[in-house]
Structure 1
Amino acid sequence: MEEYKELAEQLARAKTIAVLTGAGMSTESGIPDFRGQNGIYAQEDNVEYYLSEHYFTSHPVDFWHRFKRMFSLKMMGTFLPNKGHIFLQALEAAGKKVTILTQNIDGLHTKAGSTNVIELHGTLQTATCPICSQKYDLSFINSQDVPVCRQKGCGEILKPDVVLFGGIVPRIDEAFAAAAESDVLLAMGTSLEVTPVNHIPFYVTSESPRTYKAIINKTATRMDHLFDLVIHHSIGDTVSQLRAYMAELR
């Protein structure tokens, strides 16, 4: 358990923490890993084509039918934060500056109470009118087969507030800066396969060698060698151990 103690000590000392999270962060909440055995890639064909900017623009009605099915949008509001999300919120509540850089679109970090969340791939919780920029929540999106803007004289089909394939990743420069400025960069539940987000560990290694880097993921990644500490275990069990060791340090 020495690696748990080491990470607990690093987190206890840190004033600023950047946390890079991926799909594995939310699997313990019941949301399938995007590329896992029960994820979208395993259940659907041509995912990147049908979830692209081009397909939304060309076939918005069919896009929404597929989008709602792929992401089980009717269920999305029922998922709850798990031990991992709650642990990160607790670090913030303890007075640390915690910036969450998440690839997830489920909104669970915000639901857990974390206040500084950069949703790099957007969110499933809202959709926006491409014409008048009016924003609508998940309940409204689910109330219509194909959600359209209700602003007077508009009626445009809404666009989900997620980064579609071929789209631009917002706030990526802010994410790189937050990671490099942190005392600890903690990656959780990410295979580090998706660009440009997976360049963050490289950037921190190059630009901020003082930053301590750790990764918690069930399986090995191609970038494990970039981290000072690697834990291949479930997030829930790991944060329970970290909580216990950090309590001893008080």
Structure 2
Amino acid sequence: MTDVNRLAEMIQSASAITILTGAGVSTASGIPDFRSANGLWMEDRSREYYMSNRYFSKNPIDFWKKYKEIFRIKLLQNYEPNAVHTFIKDLEKIKKNIFVITQNVDGLHKAAGSREIIEYHGSLDTASCPVCGTKVSFDQILKEDVPHCINVSCGSIVRPDIVLFGDPILKHNEAERCVQSSDLLITLGTSLQVSPFNLLPEYAVYDCGIPAAIVNRELTVMDSLFSCKIHGDLSETILELGREVF
């Protein structure tokens, strides 16, 4: 039995599945992996400084310039879900309860139609006014070099709805509740370097006693947690897995 066969059997036996996704899920859609061995974050570590809550507060105009460059905001509307997003959505069609917990901020799980999604680090699709709380759409973000609140009585520079460096993680407890209600955890396309997201597999295995599987191009420091490990191209693995599952 191959590892793909084994994962297919694990999926078929489960009724509720939590799927953790990282940057590797979106690379086939043309979105760069920021944290892989050759990722964009490795090119310039000052990105973490510029993408921080502190820098936004200090220099919101330059923050927005760098934010749009780093996240390629003008190109975001051209990205489409790929076979991995579709596979996750299609698991719902075979009566599986699927909870997606994603590190990605690109909105592609929503675009693919998945029903239960926790955007653990937020979304690039919107921004919010730090003064009055008004939401700003992606179209408005594109319209202005430095987006401002659309509330005419306010007009403050808005803040993107993603978790910046220095921000607290607000959705971890919600993510743990999804894990608690599942009988399988699958991790796709993440190196599991970022905390506290990387605590979720450990929580699943040790605290909840559910099996866990990982599919990732590279080995991770947390591989020992997983009873099924597949290292290789994620898109190719998912296509093979789809032939087994559906």
Shared fold per TM-score greater than 0.5: yes
Note if contact 2:64-2:146 (Cα within 8 Å) is conserved in structure 1: yes
The 2-side partners of 1:123 and 1:94 are apart by 28
Which residue is equivalent to 2:116?
A: 116
- 1:1-250 equivalence runs, <5 A: 2-36=2-36, 39-209=39-209, 211-247=210-246
Note if contact 1:18-1:98 (Cα within 8 Å) is conserved in structure 2: yes
One-letter identity of the residue aligned with 1:140: Q
Please give the root-mean-square deviation of Cα atoms over the aligned residues, in Å. 1.3
The 2-side partners of 1:198 and 1:161 are apart by 21
Please say which of residues 99-108 and 232-241 is displaced more in the overlay.
232-241
The 1-side partners of 2:82 and 2:34 are apart by 18
Residue 107 of structure 1 deviates from its aligned partner by 0.5
Q: Per the alignment, in what secondary structure is the counterpart of residue 149 of structure 1?
A: coil
Note if contact 1:32-1:38 (Cα within 8 Å) is conserved in structure 2: no
Cα deviation 1:163-184 (Å, max 9, x = unaligned):
0000011211111221132111
Runs of 5+ unmatched residues, structure 1: none
The 2-side partners of 1:137 and 1:58 are apart by 24
One-letter identity of the residue aligned with 2:82: N
The 1-side partners of 2:232 and 2:39 are apart by 20
Note if contact 1:40-1:47 (Cα within 8 Å) is conserved in structure 2: no
Residue 45 of structure 1 deviates from its aligned partner by 4.5
Aligned residues: 246
The 1-side partners of 2:37 and 2:172 are apart by 29
Runs of 5+ unmatched residues, structure 2: none
Note if contact 2:205-2:211 (Cα within 8 Å) is conserved in structure 1: no
Note if contact 2:204-2:211 (Cα within 8 Å) is conserved in structure 1: no
Cα deviation 1:148-204 (Å, max 9, x = unaligned):
012121000010000000001121111122113211100000000000000111111
The 1-side partners of 2:88 and 2:56 are apart by 35
Cα deviation 1:183-241 (Å, max 9, x = unaligned):
110000000000000011111121122x1200000000000000010000112111111
Cα deviation 1:98-151 (Å, max 9, x = unaligned):
000100000000000001100000001110111121111211101001000121
Residue 78 of structure 1 deviates from its aligned partner by 0.9
Residue 16 of structure 1 deviates from its aligned partner by 0.3
The 2-side partners of 1:105 and 1:180 are apart by 24
Q: Per the alignment, in what secondary structure is the counterpart of residue 100 of structure 1?
A: strand
> Would you identify which runs of 4 or more consecutive aligned residues in structure 1 move more than 6 Å?
none
The 1-side partners of 2:113 and 2:162 are apart by 21
Cα deviation 1:72-114 (Å, max 9, x = unaligned):
1000111011110000000012221100010000000000000
The 1-side partners of 2:39 and 2:141 are apart by 22
The 1-side partners of 2:40 and 2:156 are apart by 28
Give TM-score, length-normalised by structure 1: 0.95
